Chains A and B, each alone.
Chain A
């Protein structure tokens, strides 16, 4: 048995270190260490409730809008307001732009460059992948960034800038949209759509959305081998990524985009386990700090938990807490959203091979097509003459608010308790807090730690380990805050 610490893992957001025990060429135990603690939950305490809108986006530069959306939803409960339909549509557009940009950056900048490494030089696809995806230098990156910047113009127009906007308010958005602005937004979205259709998928978006079986996907990959997604499908087949990094934890999602009176039409909240869906009961969430460098209050609901650092705590190995749903670890991400949306392709694949490197990455890349189509509908649906926000009462009416949403990486929750109009307690559970949690009070490993077990790895540096890590697209700065 050898024990190795591997870090820092590159091309993830924030700092991640793994401790691996290898035995007989396989991973026998894994510990995920989130190495950075800033203490945002403490920075929020004592401030006015609305100050959360200035503080929380700055938790994360990549999921900034998701943090704003979660805070705004919690504040909407505290102030007892509901955004008008335009407020929801514009929030949805801003949020979807961030999530699509995240998927795009993850695929092109974080995940694919690993397959351009010299270690894969023996494969027939390597020269092509290397030319297209090599880190920093690959031919895909500059055009991708140009397309991404065009999409991000939505943020300039609708959100002032990105990241760290304050346009998303409990009662809607602090921005209206004119007819001429909608024309511009539509042109930029069309330009971005053309990039996806020409380079990422090689086929029209409705075709991507319509794939309903592995056979349809295989047929596509055969017809459009030069599309970037097809290139991934080909190497995934060659390396059998479907068998890599399997994770059997329940899949969870929060409410994503809202449409009409707060309903959640695009992808519903819920829990998916082995083909069965269940409602998401957030009262069943507990945070465990047994193995975190934090005071351990025992399993505690986020409305009642606290975050007090203990840097010298022994037997701890991460700044991250371990959230559990009804006592169980849970995984979250685009794959969970697709399952809860009852997407046929995803359901078939996951029932056959589970949540794996292949299914997690495919779900992310494909979600861009679905979202861009939906964004065009949201944009068209804006009622130009109608209000974009509802005025807030002078003071909060309630003392507790829960704000849930879906970041690109999965479920994000904010739990806020007020003392008068000031924040008394603010607890955050981010997607990667679920996916990359350390062990809990019962010694159960987190989803990544479990997914790494049994991975064939002659060395801790093995690329298989890194593919598994990056298939979850960890956001470490959100994980701990």
Chain B
């Protein structure tokens, strides 16, 4: 089997999705690619080529056709591309991205920036930052809503800020095997193998959520949804099922999920550590549940909260352990 070529570009981002990918364990990033039949033909931080060697290398790869093209970081379209210039003639980088995308079998946006514009497009977006095929939650971006790689698949949006190493490596392995179809992507172009889950699933604060026993500040044990801005019940990702760096997630770190896989996460319209409320109830309730039911259920469960759960919710560690069944009590 001939290996598939992977070309990885970086533009208006932080490099964090690459650095996160390098945290891959068992196997490591390089081994995982090789084992998936992928040859890393170009990555600005990792390949030998530098300076004068880069343009001919990329031209040669484009001429041969690129199997998988990844972009990390937003596309910088403002001021005729002057916010990201590169190479021996200080060319606008978006031109390079567009030229290589036209020669790729699959095009992948790695991270929320490359997918939708992300944090680089936050605020007044002076720099005209956009995603590869989306501008925020609207199709468009650099390549336009009708774009597909030569395989026919639209841009795959591995959104996340950062991306989990597993999301990236598994997507690439599936693409290398021609085993990812349009039906495997959600309406925002995200691979459904992680985007059909919610951050809420598997959250170790679930018992606190069930009883609406809430933390009042980051670092307390209770649910962070009511007061501390957590969006885990709305955020599409498997962060609490597929742990990060061995055993972590935002929630196990004691701070709220900010829904970083969503196009507009960087402009939530409220402080990241606060939950906006109307009539005492959070504005951002679970999206697929009738609000009246949520209000009724949470009022009921709040009235039934065990003392243990209530006490632990505002402590920084468990101070009251679960009681034993009577027959096991010494």
What chain A residues lie within 8 Å of B189 (beta carbons)? none
Q: A54-B258, A159-B248 are in contact. Are A136 and B15 (CB under 8 A)?
A: no
4 smallest A-B Cβ distances: which pairs?
A61-B16, A160-B253, A156-B245, A156-B248
Q: Is B22 close to A, CB under 8 A? A: yes
Q: A11-B50, A61-B20, A175-B253 are in contact. Are A39 and B126 (CB under 8 A)?
A: yes
Complexed CA–CA distance, A360 and B28 (Å): 29
Min CB–CB distance A226 → chain B (angstroms):
22
Q: Is B178 close to A, CB under 8 A? A: no
- Residues 128-182 (chain B) with a chain A CB within 8 angstroms: 129, 161-162
Evaluate contact between B47 and A136: CB separation under 8 angstroms: yes
What chain B residues lie within 8 Å of A304 (beta carbons)? none
Evaluate contact between B245 and A161: CB separation under 8 angstroms: yes
**Which of A141-149, A197-205, A248-256 participates in binding chain B?**
A141-149
Q: Is A404 close to B, CB under 8 A? A: no
**Which of A162-170, A273-281, A406-414, A427-435 participates in binding chain B?**
A162-170
- 13 CB < 8 A contacts A-B: A8-B51, A43-B122, A113-B48, A146-B28, A148-B23, A153-B245, A161-B248, A166-B258, A167-B253, A167-B255, A178-B317, A309-B83, A477-B14
- Residues 80-98 (chain B) with a chain A CB within 8 angstroms: 80, 82-90, 93
Q: Is A348 close to B, CB under 8 A? A: no
Min CB–CB distance A480 → chain B (angstroms):
10
Evaluate contact between A38 and B127: CB separation under 8 angstroms: yes
Partner of B49, one of A10, A62, A175: A10
Q: Is B61 close to A, CB under 8 A? A: no
Please report A residues at the B interface, Cβ cutoff 8 Å: 4-15, 17, 33, 35-39, 42-43, 45-48, 50-51, 53-55, 58-62, 64, 105, 109-110, 113, 116-117, 134-136, 141-142, 145-146, 148-150, 152-167, 169, 173-176, 178, 188, 293, 309, 311-312, 319, 387-389, 391-392, 460-461, 466, 477
Q: A9-B50, A134-B48 are in contact. Are A61 and B25 (CB under 8 A)?
A: no
How many chain B residues sit at the interface, stated as a range, is 35 or more
What chain A residues lie within 8 Å of B253 (beta carbons)? 158-161, 165-167, 174-175
Q: Is B250 close to A, CB under 8 A? A: yes
Total of A-B residue pairs, C-beta within 8 Å: 279
- Beta-carbon contacts of B111-125 to A below 8 Å, as 1s and 0s? 000000001101110
What chain B residues lie within 8 Å of A42 (beta carbons)? 123-124, 126
Complexed CA–CA distance, A155 and B258 (Å): 18
Q: A142-B28, A160-B248 are in contact. Are A311 and B82 (CB under 8 A)?
A: yes
Q: Is B222 close to A, CB under 8 A? A: no
Evaluate contact between A61 and B217: CB separation under 8 angstroms: no
Complexed CA–CA distance, A136 and B89 (Å): 28
Partner of A156, one of B80, B243, B271: B243
Min CB–CB distance B92 → chain A (angstroms):
10
Evaluate contact between B272 and A477: CB separation under 8 angstroms: no
A47 (CB) vs chain B CBs: closest residue: B271
Evaluate contact between B24 and A17: CB separation under 8 angstroms: no
What chain B residues lie within 8 Å of A35 (beta carbons)? 84-86, 90, 93
What chain B residues lie within 8 Å of A117 (beta carbons)? 48
Most chain A beta-carbon neighbours within 10 Å: one of B14, B19, B22, B86? B14
Complexed CA–CA distance, A388 and B217 (Å): 13
Min CB–CB distance A5 → chain B (angstroms):
5
Q: A145-B29, A157-B247, A466-B50 are in contact. Are A136 and B40 (CB under 8 A)?
A: yes
